[in-house]
Amino acid sequence: METIHSRPSWYAGKKKPTLQIKILQEILIHGKLSKIEFEHLYEGTHFHADIVTGFDNLKENELIEESERHPHRGRMEIFYTLSTTGLLALFSENPNPNYFWTSLVLWVYYQKNPIRWHDILELFDQYLKRYLKHYLKYGYYSLQLDEFNRTCNTWFEKAILRGTKIPPAQKVLEVLATNPDLTLEQVSRATQEKVSTIQSIIGMYTAIPHKPVLVDLHGHHDSPFYPTGWRLQIHNSIVQSPTKETYRLTVFGILMVLHIILKNHEGKLPHGLMNNNTIQQYIDKIASNYKSKIPLLFEKWQFLTSYLKEYSYLNFKIILDRNLREKAFDGSVIDGGNKELYFGMRETVSASQKQLIDLQFAGINVVFNFQAPQGTNNSYEDAQKKIQLCFHLFLYLTTIINPTDYDRESFISEYGNEKYLGSGLAEEIGSKYDIGHLEKSLSFEISFIYYLSLRSMLFSYDKFSPEYFKEIFRKIAMSDKEIGEFIYEHLSRIQNHYLEVQRTIGTMYQ
């Protein structure tokens, strides 16, 4: 399969080539087509010379490719098929979800040569860049922080504050925050708790098997893993290494420890911490141990602390306290605040999620109801086999939309047989259900809110003025290319969102 071009450019800056687009559409519908056949389809509608020129231009721009030749009245009749670049060109003309699935299904159905799964993924990613109004190169479209804040507050009240001494769960989290990748025995020694106690805690804070269930009117369900009243983020705060021998924190676990540390700093942790580290020493250690978990903060930690001093530590309050966050972002950007930026970020993510759900519903209607085109003489079962890659892509899309539906092992167990995906592809798609993908999404959300909050100072310091923080925000964005690009991308899509809102409001008066 040829390399997929990032965007169709065969008529960039020129008049829209209606005839060439019509040729592409007919090739898609028929699987292959010659100039002679196209001329018969539109007899008397287009000049012969225009049709020849249209086919030649499409071939020159690699939107179609020669498939086969048949003798015809003393000369060879050349048949053409649609290339991936040609398919993307059609998507650009009509990015509608139903059109995407219908076109993809037909294109896959008519392919004679094997199609690689990774080529389908690349094609899909290129389509998303055309379809999504707010495409993110990071590729994650979820908001998790509000839900985490609610869950963490409940957990803190029930698991940490109740009791007469530091609870074992707090000890385990603290130990893994300052010393990641420890075995059960090492955690036991560090916390001075029994191995059996550590095992029980680890079982509570690591992932449990789960998958979507069907529940009937009587409350009966079809899954032995059906969890009731569970909290996914808490159950995924600790992860095992691939060897299953050592443990470390996830982003959720890190935030839980930061919650404990800040509560202690405020004097709201009656039993205190396990050691006498200052808030600066503690968070510096976590940032050093877990750089890859929140890279836009922890990999830049020395850089940030040199500018922000103790505010770099206290600014995590904006991440861990939803009420404080909404209060801090209450002021309009016109008055120097962040209200429109904060809620614009949330609205663009929600808009992307809605578009992806629309794409998912379209996939259900098209892929599962596909019938072989007339004249191909394939049964429904044979047609479904030929478009199996489209079903695989549908399952892949559901991992993006609902990354918490399964744990990895349950997904592989469900789809790992040859009837569905086979073991290799089930492993690959199932890996999207690893908690690491949710961590990345949450990491980007945390990072954007952390940097955005610098534009409106939340705490009062004699040596820090609001103007100082706004200048720091600019310096950080200008001094670090990665941070600057990250902030610019988010601000750009928020700006585009409000421009669209403005245009929509404007049409109400026409």
Residues carrying CATH 1.10.10.10, the chain? 18-94
Nearest residue to 148 (alpha-carbon basis) of 209, 236, 212, 213:
236
Question: What is the DSSP code string of 98-111?
Answer: HHHHHHHHHHHHH-
Q: Which of 96, 85, 160, 72 is nearest to 123 (CA)?
A: 85
At a CB cut-off of 8 Å and minimum separation 6, what does 28 contact?
Answer: 82, 87, 90, 103, 106, 107
Give the tokens for residue 86: 């040609």
Number of neighbours of residue 236 by Cβ within 10 angstroms: 23
pLDDT of amino acid 169: 95
Phi-psi domain of 180 (left: phi exceeds 0; alpha: psi -120 through 50; beta: other): beta
d(CA 479, CA 315): 20
For residue 211, give every residue at least 6 positions away whose Cβ sits within 8 Å of its Cβ, in sequence order, or none. Answer: 223, 225, 405, 406, 407, 410, 411, 414
- Are 427 and 412 within 8 A, CB to CB? yes
Q: Do the strands 75-82 and 64-72 form a parallel or antiparallel pair, or are they unpaired?
A: antiparallel
pLDDT for res 231:
80
Tokens standing for residue 281: 């020493």
A 10 A CB-CB count for 87 gives 25
In angstroms, the Cα distances linking 3 to 57, 86, 123 are: 19, 12, 10
Q: Are strands 238-240 and 64-72 parallel, antiparallel or unpaired?
A: unpaired
18-94 topology per CATH = Arc Repressor Mutant, subunit A (1.10.10)
Q: What is d(CA 463, CA 457) in angstroms, rounded to the nearest whole number?
A: 12
The whole-number pLDDT of residue 46 equals 85
- The residue length of the chain stands at 510
Phi-psi region of 127 (alpha: psi -120 to 50; beta: other; left: phi over 0): alpha
Q: Over the chain (510 residues), what is each successive 10-residue block's mean pLDDT?
A: 47 79 94 91 86 92 90 82 93 93 95 90 92 78 88 92 89 96 96 95 89 61 51 90 90 97 93 90 96 95 89 92 88 85 91 93 93 83 91 93 87 90 92 89 93 72 64 84 89 90 83
- Give the model's pLDDT for residue 1: 46
